A and B are shown apart, each in its own frame.
Chain A
Amino acid sequence: MLRIDNLHATVGGKEILKGLSLNLNAGEVHAIMGPNGAGKSTLGYVLGGRPGYEVTGGTVTFRGQDLLALDPHERAATGLFLGFQYPVEIPGVSFVQFLREALNAQRNTRGEEPLSGGEFLKLARAKAGLLKLDMEMLKRPVNVGFSGGEKKRAEMVQMGILDPALAILDETDSGLDIDALRVVGEGINAIMRQQDGGPDKAVLLITHYQRLLDYVKPDFVHVLAGGRIVKSGGPELALQLEAEGYEAVAA
């Protein structure tokens, strides 16, 4: 589904990604772990097409297309979802309005009919329910006044509504209390686990801790350090990292 080959990228003139390669197939859950400043969020932003994050080498193919040739909103419409480490506040624009514009813009790009107001609200209510987020909160301006954990839960409600093929979730577990972590973990499974006969799905979890991986069990775990993947393994690698630290495992 996603093939990243020898990706190089700079931010503010500084090279952050230095030859990163990674391959995700449909049906797989991958986790990326790595020290602060390693380039994990940068990878997400580069894949999302954030202005200022310049690709200087390598290729990215997503669902058979050259991802890097698409504008950010086209990448989303192609099925890419980026869960933000720091979700953005947008005063004056309600979540309902924001997400309805987003979903219908994506549907429009894909040549599908827009959802009516009623259809959209029904969908939004169902996904808010799944993440145990009060529907009333979606009437408020995007992320404004939300607590850290509420923002992360709202990210997952957005993912549920937009129903992407690939979700890159950047520290979605940070800021969540113990119960919220379980709700979010189960939400990710409900939304992003590939079903028999269902559409292709894959997940890339960026995290520092094992705790989310207890709920969303990864098939592969990678260590990102110094702008590239330095070690890959199965779920046991995350446990080993947690026990021994990056220095010992990936040095």
Chain B
Amino acid sequence: MNQVLALPTTHDEAWRYADPAALAALDPGELDQWCDITLSPGEAACRVLVLDDASPGVQRLRLTLAQGARGAIFAIASASAYTRLEVEVRLARGAHFEFGGVTVGSGDATREFVTRVIHAEPEATSNQVVRSVHWGRATGNFLGAVHVARDAQQTDAAQNFRAILLEKGASANAKPELEIFADDVKCAHGAAIGALDDTAGFYMAARGIPPEVARRLLVRAFIADAFVALEDEAQRDDLLEQAVARLEGSRL
């Protein structure tokens, strides 16, 4: 088959907050590529992704979790051009999926996480935490779809998105989407977008902490939520440092 794939546009629901100019420049061939990961029953695996200037563009990950398997993905999207991580997960009975994502940066780039979590069987759980920190004219998005199949009773699916915009002109969007076909299900989602807490900023200044250090401490505490479930402490600290490091050298 030699079919030419159409490029997505912002009219497509799953691409609605993307940057139109960046979409037009995508390579159609790349858009068809998925990285497939399959975990066998009871297996546990954790994948850490740093999408910085070494890997901008679109990345797609498909995760298939067999009964009782535990899959975790922790990601930073910080490249200076359009960056999008798509994750599609299928959970069998009693499996667990954990996602922690941070979009961070300035410029005028859009950085986004798009997840589709399919609770195909009963008793599976999923937890997704995304934090965005932007300034300049940058945008951070989280589009999280949760699908609970007809028989997937006792599903517990949570997603939480919070964004801090350090300057006017930056933006953030959340688009939770729930398709629930079972009745005994817990699905929680929350989203909040705001500025850095200036009361805390003044309290810190009153103790002698300069504004740039206060900002680093507050941002670090804010994004740490996305990585609390990362069990390896060294890896967790390393990811946090990499995300916070994007603030250094910014003109804030």
Residues of A within 8 A of B (CB): 48-51, 71-73, 76-77, 81-82, 84, 87-93, 97-99, 101-103, 105-106, 109, 141-142, 158, 162
Tell me the complex Cα distance, A92–B226, Å. 12
Which residues of chain A are within 8 angstroms of B206 by Cβ–Cβ distance? 48, 50, 72-73, 76, 81-82, 84
Q: A87-B203, A90-B218 are in contact. Are A162 and B208 (CB under 8 A)?
A: yes
Q: Could you list 16 examples of A-B contacts with CB < 8 Å?
A: A48-B202, A51-B198, A72-B205, A72-B206, A73-B209, A76-B207, A88-B199, A90-B221, A101-B209, A101-B213, A101-B217, A102-B207, A105-B208, A105-B210, A141-B221, A162-B207
Tell me the complex Cα distance, A97–B218, Å. 12
Task: Check B252 for interface membership: any CB of A closer than 8 A.
Answer: no
Q: Which of B34-55 contact A (CB under 8 A)?
A: none
Q: A76-B207, A162-B208 are in contact. Are A105 and B200 (CB under 8 A)?
A: no
Tell me the complex Cα distance, A158–B204, Å. 12
Q: A50-B202, A51-B198, A51-B202 are in contact. Are A98 and B221 (CB under 8 A)?
A: no
Tell me the complex Cα distance, A151–B176, Å. 38
Closest to A143 in B: B203
| A73 with B217: CB separation less than 8 A | no
Task: Check B15 for interface membership: any CB of A closer than 8 A.
Answer: no
Closest to B203 in A: A88
Tell me the complex Cα distance, A89–B218, Å. 12
Chain B 158-178, CB-CB to A under 8 Å as 1, else 0, gives 000000000000000000000
Q: A73-B209, A93-B217 are in contact. Are A102 and B202 (CB under 8 A)?
A: no
Residues of B within 8 A of A (CB): 197-200, 202-211, 213, 217-218, 220-222, 224-225
Tell me the complex Cα distance, A213–B176, Å. 57
Tell me the complex Cα distance, A76–B213, Å. 15
CB of B204, distance to nearest CB on chain A (Å): 7
Which residues of chain B are within 8 angstroms of A77 by Cβ–Cβ distance? 208
If A50-B202, A93-B220 are given as contacts, then 15 extra A-B residue pairs at C-beta distance below 8 Å, sorted by A number, are A50-B206, A71-B205, A73-B205, A73-B211, A82-B206, A84-B206, A92-B221, A92-B222, A92-B224, A92-B225, A93-B218, A99-B207, A102-B204, A103-B208, A105-B210
Which residues of chain B are within 8 angstroms of A142 by Cβ–Cβ distance? 203
Q: Nearest 5 pairs between A and B by C-beta?
A: A92-B221, A72-B205, A76-B208, A106-B208, A102-B207
Tell me the complex Cα distance, A97–B216, Å. 12
Which residues of chain A are within 8 angstroms of B222 by Cβ–Cβ distance? 92
Which residues of chain A are within 8 angstroms of B202 by Cβ–Cβ distance? 48, 50-51, 72, 88
Which residues of chain B are within 8 angstroms of A72 by Cβ–Cβ distance? 202, 205-206
